[in-house]
Structure 1
C-alpha cells in the first residue's frame, strides 16, 4: 500500500508549523490510478504562512487550524477558505476512494474517479460538519466521504438506466426549477419550460402504467397534443404569454429540460480547485485574527477532543458487544433492514416469518441497544437522563446502526 501521508511523502524533517503549512496548502496528484506526489499551491502557502507569522502565540495545532478555516468558511464562504479545507481533506478523499475501489471492483470507475467524486463533495462535507458534535473535521470526513460516494454511485446507477422521459417522471417542480436556474436560463425561459413540462407530465407521464424507468418514446401525436395544451395554458399561466409553439419546439424544450435535470442532479466530476465562471480564484478575504479571544476559547475547548474520541470509541465497543449479544434472528433482521435497506414486507418474504415477529424484533432490538447506551452514559459519563436526552440518544443510535451496517469499511 502506497503511503499517502503528506509528511511521509515529503520525506522532510518538519517542525510543527511547517507541517501545518503543508497540511493546508498541498494537493494530491494521481497518475494512472496511483498516488504520484503532493503539489503545493503557492497562494495557499503564503496565506497560511502569513497567519502563522501574525499569530505566533497560537500553537501549531491541526485541529485548531481546521476549526479556524471551517469557522471562517461558515461565516464568509470564499474560495480561499474552501481551498485550505480542500487541501486539508485530500488524504480523507484518497482513503475514501481507496476503500471504495476495494469494495466495488466490478465498476467502470477507478481510484482517480472515486477520488474526484470525493473532492467534488468537500462542500457537502463541510456543510454537514458540526464542531459541537464531532471531535474533528478529519474524523467526520473519514465517515462522511465513503457514505457520500456510495449515495452518488446509487444515484448514477438510477440515472444511467433512465430515459429522458423516465427521468422527467421522477423529478419534482422544485428540482426542475433548480435545474433550469443552474443551467443559466432566463426567468421567461424557465417559466415557459416549466409550463411545457407540466403539460407534458399531465398528458403523458401520468398515463403510463407501472414504475419503469424506460418509458416509451412519445410520438408526434403526443407532442402535438402537448403543444396544444401549452398554447392554451400560456394565456393564463405566463406573463407575457409569449408566442405559440409547435410540436417540434415542445419536443426540443422537454429534451433540454431532461438534459438540464440530469446535469443538475448527477453532475460530472469536477475538482473544487477549478474556479467557477466569474469567480476570482485569487480573491483575498478579510480573515479574523487567529489569536482572537473567541478562537482561542474554541481552541481550548478542542483540547478535550481526545477525551471525546475515547468516549466515542468506548461507546462503540459497548454497542457492538450489545449487538452481538442479541439473538441470531434479531441480528439478521437488523442486517437486512439497515445494510440491505429492505422493508419489513421484504424481510417477511425473505425470512418467511410473520409481520408481527419482524416488527417486534426490530423494536425490541433497538430498545435493548438504547437501554445499553443509556446505562453506559449514566455509569461512565455521569449523565442525568432526561426525555430530551433519550430522544437524542435514540437518534444517535439510529445513526450508529446505519453507519455500522451501511459501510463495513468504516472503522468502528
Structure 2
C-alpha cells in the first residue's frame, strides 16, 4: 500500500520537459486538494494506488468528469514517460527524441482510457504500459514508410479525398486548391503511365515529363478551372507538386506538439519537488521495479493462456508436440514411433501451434491491444520459445 503523500502526488503531478529532457514535476493545486479531500474521507483500506486508479476511471466513464480525467492524466505520466524512455533506446536511428515519444504517448491517453476494461485487466498502469508501447511501435512503422517514400511516390499513392483534406488543412484558398488538384491529376495521369513496380523507390520525373505535365495542365485548365491561371511552365508545375507533397506529408504525419499541457481553471501551477524520473533516484527505481513486475505479470498471464490452450488440444496433437519438443524427435522419427503418415505428423504439429497462437492473439485482443502482422510474428517466436522451455524444463506432460 502506498503512503498517503505518494498517492496524492501520483494523481496531481505532471512531468515538464525542457529541451527534450525531464525538467521538473508540476502539481495542479486543484487536483492536489481534491485527492487530499478524498483520501481524508476514505478508510485506510481504500488508500491503494490501484483503487484510486479504478475509482477515477469509473467516474470518468460514467460522468465524463473533467477532474477524473485530469487525475488519470496525471497518474499516467509515469507510464508514458517510462514507455518513451524505453522506446528511445530501442529506436536509436529514429528522428524522434525522448520528448517526442513522450508527447506521442500522452496523445494516446484518451484512447487508453476508452479501451481499458477493468474486468479483464485490473491494473490500469499495466495495461497502459502494454497498450502505449504497442501503439508507439505502430506509429513508428507508419511514419517510417512515409519517411522513406519520395514526394512522387507519395503523390502517386495518395487519394483525391486525402489530397484535398491536406490542401484545406494547409489553409489554401479554393482557387489555389483547384490549381494544385489539377496539377496533381495531370501528374498522376502521365507519371503512373510511365512507371511500374514498387512506389517507394520511383525515379525523379525528368524535364521531358514535367513539360508534358505542364502542357496537359494548360489544356485542361480551360474546362477544369473557374479561374484560369494563364499558361504554366514546367518549373511552376514542379514547384506546385513539390509543395503539395509537403502539405500531404504534414497532414499525414503532423509534427509532435506539446500535448501534455493542461489547462488551469482558477489556480496557478506550482513546482512540486519530486525526484527526476530519468535519474538514479528512488522514483526511477520504483518505476523500474514496476516495469519488471508488469513484465513478469504479463509473462505469467501469457503462460497461463498458452497452458490452457495446450491442455485443450486433442490427445494425439499433444503427443506429437511432446515428442517434438520434449524428446527432440524429427517428424520422420515421430512418424515411425506413432505409425502415422508424414502429412499427419506435420498437420498435427502445425495445427497445434496455430491453435495456441490463436489463443494468444485472442488474449491480446481481449485486452484491447491492437495486433498486426509484425506482432503476430513476434508472438509466434514467443510461442516457439515457450513450448521448448515448458517441455524441456518443466515437463508438463510426463
Indicate whether the TM-score tops 0.5: yes
Task: Pick one of 47, 52, 56 that aligns with 1:65.
Answer: 56
Alpha carbons 2:79, 2:128 under 8 Å: kept: yes
| CA separation of 1:208 and 1:123: change in aligned 2, threshold 3 A | farther
Per-residue CA shift, 1:224-282, capped at 9, x if unaligned?
A: 332333344445545x354345134332221121111211222222221358xxxxx45
Q: 1:82 to 1:23 in 2, by over 3 A?
A: same
**1:317 paired residue number:** 303
Q: 2:197 aligns with which of 210, 221, 229?
A: 210
Residues 1:140 and 2:131 are matched in the alignment: no
Which SS does the other structure have where 2:255 is aligned? coil
TM-score, with structure 1 as normaliser: 0.59
Question: Given that residues 120 and 269 in structure 1 are in contact (C-alpha distance below 8 angstroms), is that contact kept between their aligned partners in structure 2?
Answer: no
The residue that corresponds to 1:96 in the other structure is: 83
**Alignment match of 1:366 (pick from 321, 343, 354):** 354
Residues 1:51 and 1:31: Cα distance change in structure 2 (over 3 Å): closer
Change (3 A) 1:106 1:129: same
Deviates most, 25-34 or 218-227: 25-34
Label 1:141 to 1:245 Cα distance change in 2 as closer, same or farther (>3 A).
farther
1:347 corresponds to which residue? none
**Structure 2 runs not aligned, ≥5 long:** 267-296, 312-317, 326-343, 387-398
Q: Secondary structure at the match of 1:204?
A: helix
Say if 2:259 is the partner of 1:272. yes
- Residue 223 of structure 1 pairs with residue 210 of structure 2: yes
Q: Which residue of 1 aligns with 2:288?
A: none
1:405 is aligned to 378
Flag the structure with larger Rg: 2
CA distance in 2, matches of 1:140, 1:186: 45
For residues 30-69 of structure 1, the aligned pairs below 5 Å read 30=17, 35=22, 37-40=24-27, 42=28, 45-46=29-30, 49=33, 61-69=52-60
Q: For residues 3-402 of structure 1, what are the structure 2 equivalents within 5 Å? A: 15=4, 21-30=8-17, 35=22, 37-40=24-27, 42=28, 45-46=29-30, 49=33, 61-69=52-60, 84-105=71-92, 107=94, 109-126=96-113, 128-129=115-116, 135=122, 137-238=124-225, 240-244=226-230, 246-247=232-233, 248-274=235-261, 281-282=263-264, 316-321=302-307, 322=309, 327=321, 364-368=352-356, 396=366, 399=371, 402=375
* d(CA) in 2 for partners of 1:129, 1:233: 53
CA distance 1:232–1:98, change in 2 (3 Å): same
Shift of 1:319: 2.6
Q: In the aligned structure 2, how far is the partner of 1:407 from the partner of 1:184?
A: 47
Larger RCO, structure (CA 8 Å, separation 6 or more): 2
